[in-house]
Structures are given as C-alpha cells and as structure tokens.
Amino acid sequence: MATLDALDKRIQELHSARFKEFETEVVRLKSMSDRAAKFEAGREKRRREFLQSIGNNLKNMDAEQAKDLKVQEKELKEYLAEFRPGAEKRPSLGAVDAKEASLRRSVLGETKSLVLPVFASSIYAADKATLGGISGVTGEGAINSGWVFPDQPGKLKIKDTAHFPIICFQAGGGGNPPEGQFHFTFVPATTATYEMTAVIVFHGFYILRSDDSWYNCREAGVKLTASMNANQFVDIGWRDFPALIDRNESNAEEVTTYDRTQFFDYTTVLKAGDPVVVTVKVVVKASARGGGAYSELNFEAGTANYIEPLFLSVQQV
C-alpha cells in the first residue's frame, strides 16, 4: 500500500511538471503580446494617416472617442455596483450539495464502487497577485506567475476578469486564464480496465457587458472548460470535455448564475499495486475588448461561489 508521503511526493512531482507547462505558455503569450505592442505604434500611425487622407477630422474623432470611452466606463461602474453584489452574496447551496453527495455515495456503495474524496488541489495563475487571498503552500514561476496548494482542497476559489478600455483599432488582450486542478489517488487491486467518474459541483456567476455599435468594436466573453487525466508511472493523456460555458457577445448586459453538478469520466487499463493519480483540470477564462466592455467568470466571491469536488468513483469494468 502506498504511504501518505509517497502519494504526496507523486502529486508534487506531477504538479511541478504541469506547472512548467503552464509557465512556458505564460512566457510564450507574453512574448507575443510584447511583439504586438512593439509594432502597434507604427500601425496606429499608418491608420491615422489613412483616415486623414480620406477626409476625416482626427481632432474631432479623438475627442468623440475620448468622450464615448468616459461615458462607457461610468456606465460600467454603475452597472457593476448595482448588479454584482446580488451574485456575490446569494445564499449558499452547500447543504443541498452535501445531501445529494451522500445519496450518490450510498447508491455507489451498493454497486461496490470505490468512492474517494479529493486528496489535494492546486491553482495556477499567470499573475501570482491574484492568489494572495488563498491560504496554503505557494510558489512562484516565470515572470509573475505562481501557484498555490489551498489548505482546503475540497473547495476551490477561482475567478477571471477582463476589462481593456481601449478604442477599436488598438490591440488588446489578456494572459493565461487561471487553472484549477483536483487530484484523487488510489491503488488498483488487480490489473484491469477501470472506469473513473469525478463528480464536481460548480457554483458561480458570470457577467457580460458590451455595447457594440457601427462606430466602435466591443465584445465580452466567458469560457469554462474541463479535462481529465490519469497518471500511473506516466500521464496516460488528457481527455477534453465540451465547454461547460462558452459565451462571446457583442451586445450584452447580464449577470447570470451558474449552479451545476458535472460528471467527468475516464476509462483506461491500470496495473495492480502501483499508485494512480487522477486529475480533473478546470480553466476559467474571461475576455473583453473596448471601452465599457467587461467580463467576469467568478467561482470565488462570498461564501456561495466555489468549485467543489464531491468524490471520484472507481469501478473495474
């Protein structure tokens, strides 16, 4: 039987390898962003010369864009102040989740499935400052990236926001979205094919605000994705699931709650007697462009918003 220290060591090794992949992507996207910024001044000069050549009054255009940006930013601030607190402070559904989890465990017990709690969880962020409110073991990576092993692996707090108040022609964008990972462990009793199903509860909300028109270009989007992997000696390979949330809107003004219990399954052959680490990864991404455009995908605020791994069921096929 694998000891606690051995399982801890294996998860630490996996964490280190996967975080290196994450920070490699952080560096790559930063390089692309820096390159775009380098050429943006030249592009902007050529655009302005062209607009002036076809009779546009650039002084008036700049003044109108500045005025519009100011109005949009004011309206955004008022909108968030009015509607965001309700999503932050909504009642928790934790008691309902606990009852449903207990019932599911009971049923699975009758099928002689192995039902496992989460062993550890981790969060990767391109900006380690966003991890400041999460207690646990932390570390740093390339540029400003970082990670944390939360003290409470059973309730993951994670979010992403996007707000780039720029005019239509200017380049904008974000970095890597934050990733959360849940790790389950067990040791197969026999060499066989195993079916593993992770049951994970999502409680959160998303905000989309964008007012696109003929004279500007604004958009806001949110995306929630999940994937699953099993590791015994080596990674067997990630299985990607269809996006849980995938919204991208040019004209929107909404705050939408998201409360779902999701099932993620993975089937593979495993060897008897050697530890297995099963990981479910969730990626929380927000994107926005243009003055007043804003997006937020939040599983963090207050006590009612979080992602909770209820259990992993394991059954020999």
Task: Please report the pLDDT score of residue 91 as a whole number.
Answer: 94
- Tell me the sheet residues that pair with 17: none
Q: What is the pLDDT of residue 1?
A: 56
Q: Are 264 and 197 in contact (CB under 8 A)?
A: yes
Exposed, middle or buried: residue 316 (CB in 10 Å: 0-12, 13-18, 19+)? middle
Distance of CA 33 to the CA centre of its chain: 20
Helix, strand, coil percentages for the chain (3-state, nearest 5):
30, 40, 30
Integer Cα distance of 317 and 312 in angstroms: 15
Task: Indicate the burial class of 178 (C-beta count within 10 angstroms; 0-12, 13-18, 19 or more).
Answer: buried
> Which phi and psi (to 5°) does residue 238 adopt?
-75, 140
pTM: 0.89
Instruction: Return the structure tokens found at 32.
Output: 């692309």
pLDDT for res 170? 54
pLDDT at 164: 78
Q: What confidence score (pLDDT) does residue 158 get?
A: 95
Q: Is the dihedral of CA 8, 241, 102, 93 positive or negative?
A: positive
How far, rounded to the nearest angstrom, does the alpha carbon of residue 151 sit from its chain's CA centroid? 19
Q: How far apart are CA 49 and CA 63, in angstroms?
A: 17
What string of pLDDT tens digits covers the 317 residues of the chain?
567 888 888 999 999 999 999 999 998 888 887 777 777 767 777 877 887 787 877 787 777 777 878 888 899 999 999 999 999 999 999 999 999 889 988 888 788 889 999 999 999 999 998 898 888 889 999 888 999 999 989 999 999 999 877 665 555 555 689 999 999 999 999 999 999 999 999 999 999 998 876 566 788 999 999 999 999 999 999 999 999 999 998 888 999 999 999 999 999 999 999 999 999 999 999 998 887 889 999 999 999 999 999 999 999 98
Measured distance CA(218)–CA(293) in Å, rounded: 6
Q: Pinpoint the alpha helices (H) of the chain.
A: 4-53, 58-88, 94-110
Distance separating alpha carbons of residues 284 and 307, to the nearest angstrom: 11
The Cα diameter of the chain in Å comes to: 79
What pLDDT does residue 184 have? Answer: 97
Retrieve residue 211's tokens: 């007012």
**Cα–chain-centroid distance for residue 239?**
17
Q: What is the pLDDT of residue 311?
A: 95
Nearest-Å Rg of the Cα atoms of the chain is: 23
